[in-house]
Amino acid sequence: PDGGRMYPTHVERGPDHIAFKVKRCPLKDAWVEAGVGEEKLATLCRIAGAFDRGLFEATGVRFANVTWTPGHGSGCCHIALTNRDA
């Protein structure tokens, strides 16, 4: 179990990057619970990912993500943060 954390993740660290595989997301869970279909769910996840990109890049960090799509499995998005100078 993930100890009830809001965003349980698998984290991989490197000298100038950190990558997260998000296993569960409260936004995605809420949309699934509301009965949102897979195509619309993928679009909502993409929009949320664009918001995250703006948030992180404003701090001077390079942000890359792969948001959830049908066939992606039960998890959520994958996020990589890199030092902009790297």
Amino acid (1-letter code) at residue 61 = V
Distance of CA 32 to the CA centre of its chain: 16
Contact assessment for residue 82 and residue 61, using Cβ atoms and an 8 Å cutoff: yes
Instruction: For residue 74, name the pLDDT band (cuts at 50, 70, 90).
Output: confident
pLDDT tens column, 5-47: 667 889 999 999 999 999 989 999 999 999 999 999 999 999 9
Whether pTM exceeds 0.85:
no
Any idea of the CA torsion for 5, 8, 13, 16, to the nearest 10 degrees?
-80
Contact assessment for residue 66 and residue 81, using Cβ atoms and an 8 Å cutoff: no
